[in-house]
Structure 1
Amino acid sequence: MTQDAAALPGPARSTDGVGAIMDAAMRGERPHHRAYEPLGQGPKDVFITSWAKSGTTLMQQMFHQLRTASAGGDMDFDDISRVVPWDDTAYLLDFDMTAPQRAAPRGFKSHREYERLPAGQRYVVTLRDPKETFVSHYRFLDGWHLERGAVTMEDFMPLWLGGGPGGCDCFTHLLSWHARLGEADSLVMTYRAVVRDRAAAIRRLADFCDIAIGPTEEALVYERTSREFMAAHRDRFDDGMICRILEEKAGVPATSDSTKVQATGSTLDALPPAIAETIDAMWAERVAPVTGHADFASLAAEVDAAHG
């Protein structure tokens, strides 16, 4: 390792250290970056904007395979966020958000709430139990941004509340999209409902995006959004572009485990009771008074019922 490389922060040993990683990654010029611009005419763009660890990658893949299904689908990419670009990381990646996409409609990823997204477009959201997102987010960063085992779940709360690049806290996001239920510009589903009945979610997303599909196209998308298929192609879903930036500018090895496709889904078995109690208290303070739902299961039942 060179002297310059040795001076880079590398994987963090505390939640505060993640800030140093991102500060280092943001340094330097961005000659190719162009901010998002809406189309002057044509179909409205589609923003896939679930909260962190709530099914965003699955929906990116579902959307991209849908819009390319009539041509046999498309897996010729190194990173799903190259073909369905992540608006919140575009500056970090020196990415041109105005570049032509491979198929219509155009699609973009975000973790933002409705109020901070470009107006007048279409929005796809999958909502997930906040406690499950906590476990999944910890599994995702432990061994990548964080040196494996250096930060306990009990100390992870500040990172979870951040919601990922450009994001917001989980409850701001959830309340924003719960308010969009039934709006024509928003397709709001629960992550578990999508996983439980992926075929129905595929048809729902196709209809929302005005993409005509038949049985052949539906079968292709169904296969390519399975956990088995995505795990077999996990190198397309591991934030490869971000990995390269973090290695070059922050000393975080690109060989770290950054895959978003886990062999098994995240459950609540490993969640410390104190964290569960803290999340429950946040829900009671912020979500229950607005939605009338005492917990996520109750809210999810409302969201799922909206789709019949």
Structure 2
Amino acid sequence: MNKKLLEAISKIDINNEDISDKELIENLDFLEKAHASIHNILITARMKKLMQDFGERETDIYVVTYPKSGTTLMQMIIYQLTKDGSMDFEHLYDVSPWCRFSAYFNKVMPSVGERRIIKAHDEYKMLSGIRKGKFIFVIRDCLDVIASLYQHIKDYNNPNASFEELANRKMRDWFEYNKSWLENKNELNILYLNYEDIIENKKSVILKIAAFLEVEMDDPKMERVLQRTSFEFMKKHETKFGEQPEHWKVYNNFIRSGKVGEGKTKLTEEQFEEFLNLSEGYKTEGTILQRYFV
């Protein structure tokens, strides 16, 4: 990091410096890029500090996914498995913190209970140094991810977002993100799950998760987990899961549908061909990505 540059920037007082409006306008693109870079560095630094303060425990559980891959659903499954199931929290992040969210808003990560549930969308290198706890990694069909992400961006960020631009940009990201987590070079203790199995055979997946986390199961607990992670229940309690709305945001669409196979209907023929071409470079026999390369 260029400390001299940062020091120089920190000393600039725009009201007292001899900088013309013309110079500011001409350098706007550069300033935008510099702002984005510095902001990213700031968020990463905050995250590192938050994680250091949060510490590590053998009982920690990390829920890791590429965005829009069933993260909230998995958080709820684990919360219902490992806690008393109470819904008296104001927001899910109060009982299952998201480090990047806390860093963005400069908040402390809440440390709740013996078995802490931590959400992450981060690349492998951000979490690869963790030595305690267990990881549950969920993979969802790339095309369904893009369809869900597109709707989320329209609702929360940009009503005029382009599906074509998003699809072209996110396909390769999805492959690269999952590749590093599947390689797992630092041998983190990871249970890999397919999102589609959670939707289509939830009970058996819950039993697999319970065994991995060494959680004792009985019929009443299974009944509660199934009921409180149903679409109907989570839709009813949507205010505990989604973002709080601003005046133009679509508030009641965070728990949307979770359907399997939706993405294939939205791609153009050229985009689907691009997906197939990309998948050729990631066809590793035995990985749980195989089911998506059809």
Normalising by the smaller structure, the TM-score range is: 0.7 to 0.9
Give me the whole-angstrom Cα distance separating, in 2, the residues matched to 1:238 and 1:257: 8
Partner of 1:260: 254
1:192-239 deviations in whole A, cap 9, x for unaligned? 011111111212222222222321111101111111111111111213
Partner of 2:212: 208
Q: TM-score, normalised by structure 1?
A: 0.70
Give the match's secondary structure for 1:84.
coil
Q: TM-score, normalised by structure 2?
A: 0.73
Of 58, 64, 71, the residue aligned with 1:49 is 64
Conservation of the 8 A alpha-carbon contact between 2:153 and 2:161: no
Quick one: percent identity of the two aligned structures?
22
Of 235, 239, 252, the residue aligned with 2:239 is 235
Change (3 A) 1:294 1:254: same
Partner of 2:272: 276
Give me the whole-angstrom Cα distance separating, in 2, the residues matched to 1:225 and 1:171: 28
Give me the whole-angstrom Cα distance separating, in 2, the residues matched to 1:254 and 1:282: 36
**Count of residues in correspondence between the two structures:** 252
* Pair 1:155-2:165 in alignment: yes
Change (3 A) 1:189 1:295: closer
Partner of 2:8: none
1:264 Cα offset (Å): 5.5
Q: Note the residue ranges of structure 2 that are not aligned, 5 or more in a row.
A: 1-31
Give me the whole-angstrom Cα distance separating, in 2, the residues matched to 1:204 and 1:119: 23
* Pair 1:119-2:130 in alignment: yes
Give me the whole-angstrom Cα distance separating, in 2, the residues matched to 1:255 and 1:77: 23
Q: Partner letter of residue 276 of structure 1? A: F
Give me the whole-angstrom Cα distance separating, in 1, the residues matched to 2:167 and 2:190: 29
Partner of 1:67: 82
* Pair 1:80-2:92 in alignment: yes
Q: Partner letter of residue 65 of structure 1? A: Q
Give me the whole-angstrom Cα distance separating, in 2, the residues matched to 1:39 and 1:94: 14
With a CA cutoff of 8 Å and minimum separation of 6, indicate the structure with the bigger relative contact order: 1
1:18-64 deviations in whole A, cap 9, x for unaligned? x99x96xx69x99x996023877853311100111111111011111
Structure 1 segment 1-308 matched on structure 2, within 5 A: 35-37=50-52, 43-68=58-83, 71=84, 73-97=85-109, 99-101=110-112, 103-117=113-127, 118-120=129-131, 121-147=133-159, 150-157=160-167, 160=170, 169-180=173-184, 185-240=189-244, 247=246, 253=247, 255-257=249-251, 259-263=253-257, 265=259, 267=262, 268-285=264-281, 287-288=282-283, 291-292=284-285, 296-298=289-291
Q: Partner letter of residue 229 of structure 2? A: T
Give me the whole-angstrom Cα distance separating, in 2, the residues matched to 1:222 and 1:300: 30
Give the match's secondary structure for 2:217.
coil
The structure whose residues are more often helix, as a share, is 2
Root-mean-square deviation over aligned CA pairs = 3.5
Q: Note the residue ranges of structure 1 that are not aligned, 5 or more in a row.
A: 1-18, 163-168, 248-252, 302-308
